């Protein structure tokens, strides 16, 4: 768990794998694009942790955050003591593919 804003957060292992796979995909094409991805995700998670209920409710008792400038959603849930990132989902993936993670 990492402290950001008011809430702690952690990544579901599958969400972490998705982020790393996306980073590798971008890095194979452009190192600067991979850096942009990681910076955008870091910023997005910090925004979520500042005010997790600010972002729209989504499927299966989660919320979604649209990553600015990139085709990704961050799917998360708010628990009593932290925010859990459930998926770093490309917008072209089937909605709810991650539902078994909740």
Over residues 37-81, the pLDDT tens digits come to 999 999 999 999 999 999 999 988 999 999 999 999 999 999 988
Segments making up each domain of the chain, as ranges: 2-91
For residue range 78-92, list pLDDT tens digits in order.
998 899 999 999 999
Model pLDDT, residue 4: 47
pTM: 0.88
> Distance (Å, rounded) from C-alpha 89 to C-alpha 62?
13
Topology, domain 2-91 = YaeB-like fold (3.30.2310)
> What pairing do the DSSP bridges indicate for beta strands 72-78 and 63-66?
antiparallel
């Amino acid at each position: 768990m990492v402290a950001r804003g008011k809430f702690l957060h952690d990544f579901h292992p599958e969400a972490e794998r998705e982020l790393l796979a996306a980073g590798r995909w971008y890095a194979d094409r452009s190192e600067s694009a991979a850096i942009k991805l990681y910076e955008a995700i870091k910023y997005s998670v910090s925004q979520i942790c500042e005010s997790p209920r600010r972002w729209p409710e989504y499927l299966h008792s989660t919320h979604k955050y649209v990553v600015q400038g990139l085709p990704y959603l961050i799917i998360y849930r708010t628990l009593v003591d932290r925010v859990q990132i459930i998926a770093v989902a490309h917008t072209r993936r089937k909605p709810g593919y991650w539902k078994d993670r909740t």
